[in-house]
A and B are shown apart, each in its own frame.
Chain A
Amino acid sequence: MTSVLEIKDLHVSVETEQGTKQILRGVDLVIRQGEIHAVMGPNGSGKSTLAHTIAGHPRYTVDSGEILLDGEDVLEMSVDERARAGLFLAMQYPVEIPGVTNSNFLRTAKTAIDGEAPSIRTWVKDVKQAMENLRMDSSFAERNVNEGFSGGEKKRNEILQLELLKPKFAVLDETDSGLDVDALKIVSEGVNRAKENTGLGLLLITHYTRILRYIKPDFVHVFVNGKVAEQGGPELADRLEEEGYDRYLVGA
């Protein structure tokens, strides 16, 4: 059975010092396993809010709407339950965890997701291989999670987790920003490899069209002012590259 992630008429707000702020205003998206959906939009349009809401970040309040994973109510699940159900979020700003080594973190996460500890021999080999593929020095295994990593190293570390944890659906929140061309290629290869190996569905959030040269979307959604303003195929990305977001912002 192909898994499906459905987002239906999602309204989300956040509490700020100035009061409640509405951010998502009716988002509809359907992503099937194996599909790549690019969500493109200007800064502040609510892309990260969408990503965090899917993952269950407690700051965001769902006012109405639904998120369903194969018909199961995702909004009822805690953050860790969502991850164990097969959802993954590669964060725009990965968090540093002092005192926890990357290798310990990865093993703990893998054990949690699979419900049992991975066999030590294959696991060590898998981690080593995945790190090599992402051109991560082996010292990153024994360093604390993201601590002192450069922006690009943090993004690679996110993709490392993506490759090792093998989710059904991954939301990549601006994984491309802050990467130079070489790093962008390495990270994109990682994402493509994960898709090839596991057939996951991808929600690729980006501000720029650059990453779409390396990761080919099946669908493109233009995200403006908390909702999808237009959708189409890859050609929509080309048009955005030429015209930018101005066309949508005028209307908003």
Chain B
Amino acid sequence: MAQTAAQHGITAHTEGAWDATPIQTRSERFTSAEVADFAEVSGLESVWKFTPVKELQDLFNSELDGSRDNISVDASAGVKVAWVPVATSNRGVAGLPEERGAANAWSRAEEVLEAHITGENQTLTLSRSALDKLPRAAHTVITAAPHASGIIVLRNTGDAQLSENVEIVLGDGADLTVVSVQQWSNDAKHLSSHYASVGRDASLKHIVVSLGGAIVRVNPSIHLNAEGGSIDALGAYFSTSGQHIEQQVYIDHDAPHTRSRVTYKGALRGEGARSVWIGDVLIRQSATGTDSYEQNRNLVLSDGTRADSIPNLEIETGDIAGAGHASATGRFDDEQLFYLMARGITEEEARRLVVRGFLLEVINQIGDDSLEDELRVAIEEAIESDLSNS
């Protein structure tokens, strides 16, 4: 915290002025657990400039309800789950907020949901389905003991106005899959910051599937701060009329021989459907032998949508195994439709085929059959409900 306070003195005043400096190295971004350390959000800040901040003022500024939220827990034998008061919790081990929305949640949360995983092939599902529309804060810390392995699913449905912080800490050699699925109801608002710290030779698969909700912003920051750590960061989203789906992915390579693969794919359809993907990859001087690749692909299914896709690659060492990025936003156009229909496929089936195939390409990389099936169904449902509404 001392370091945070010191940084605060330097950076607090420049927070809103970041846009004036074209490039700011990601590692120097101000962090703090205190909401008061961040200026009010204007929408000009680099972290907010694509987000409809007007509609998020309650999450930035109000006294969020930080009591235990209504979350149901389903855990296997090797997983210990407990609510812990913030004062005695182990939070803060994987990262700190970089913006006001996350900091407000951090400051207001009263208890932390801690899950500790030991042993192999463990499972944990945390489901939120019975929140209300009042603004609230949540904090979750997931820790995996050395060489532990398992799958964690964060499943979000129903109403919500939620700002949350999720910390994920992998001990040495741990192998964890963490999925956050957003199938909120239509007017839900959700800000979520994930911070992961990946131990030596540990491997994290992190998946964000955002399908339902008015504003859904899930920002994973993955710190590869021990040698041989690996991250597969996957994402699939479907933004329909009036939806804003955003993800800012940060991969911080801060140890030798770390590996990252980032693949986010999204489809957009309908007036005002929006998506934002920002992918920052930082390869620090310490991260020799790093192998990194990030990509974002968007499929535009109609007029009136907007997809922002911004990859950033910062490399501070000359000794890397590979680093690349790709970003593409393409239309499902009339020629594609004609081609598929000219093979006997009906128009509706053609559209479904294209969107489904596009998004499932991400899901198919997860490597767990039952989880893949569940997410496949979620995506198919989103496609069906969109088609039946159009």
Residues of A within 8 A of B (CB): 55-58, 78-80, 82-84, 88-89, 91, 94-101, 104-105, 108-109, 112-113, 144, 161, 165
Q: Quick check: is B83 within 8 A (CB to CB) of the other chain?
A: no
0/1 per residue, B17-31, Cβ < 8 Å to A? 000000000000000
Q: Decide if B339 touches A100 in the complex (CB within 8 Å).
A: no
CA gap between A89 and B344 in the complex, in Å: 11
CA gap between A78 and B337 in the complex, in Å: 12
* Nearest CB in chain A: distance from B330 CB, A: 6
Q: Decide if B343 touches A161 in the complex (CB within 8 Å).
A: yes
Q: Decide if B353 touches A80 in the complex (CB within 8 Å).
A: no
CA gap between A89 and B347 in the complex, in Å: 17
User: Which 4 A-B residue pairings sit nearest by Cβ, starting from the closest?
Assistant: A99-B358, A112-B344, A109-B343, A83-B344
Q: Decide if A112 touches B353 in the complex (CB within 8 Å).
A: no
Residues of B within 8 A of A144 (CB): 357
Residues of A within 8 A of B218 (CB): none
Q: Decide if A101 touches B357 in the complex (CB within 8 Å).
A: yes
Q: Decide if B335 touches A100 in the complex (CB within 8 Å).
A: no
Q: Decide if A105 touches B341 in the complex (CB within 8 Å).
A: no
Q: Quick check: is B346 within 8 A (CB to CB) of the other chain?
A: yes
Evaluate whether A79 and B357 lie within 8 angstroms (CB atoms) in the complex, with A97-B336, A98-B330 already known.
Answer: no
CA gap between A98 and B341 in the complex, in Å: 16
What are some 28 contacts across the A-B interface (CB < 8 A)?
Answer: A55-B338, A55-B342, A56-B342, A57-B338, A79-B338, A79-B342, A82-B342, A83-B342, A83-B345, A89-B342, A91-B339, A91-B342, A95-B335, A95-B336, A95-B339, A97-B339, A97-B354, A98-B330, A99-B299, A99-B358, A99-B359, A100-B357, A101-B357, A108-B353, A109-B345, A112-B343, A112-B346, A165-B343
Residues of A within 8 A of B74 (CB): none
Known: A83-B341, A83-B342, A97-B340. 10 other contacts (CB 8 A): A58-B334, A78-B347, A80-B341, A80-B344, A82-B342, A83-B345, A95-B335, A95-B336, A95-B339, A112-B344
CA gap between A50 and B341 in the complex, in Å: 18
CA gap between A91 and B344 in the complex, in Å: 15
Residues of A within 8 A of B353 (CB): 100, 104-105, 108
Q: Quick check: is B349 within 8 A (CB to CB) of the other chain?
A: yes
Evaluate whether A108 and B345 lie within 8 angstroms (CB atoms) in the complex, with A98-B358, A99-B299 already known.
Answer: yes
**Of A79, A96, A165, most B-chain CB atoms within 10 Å:** A79
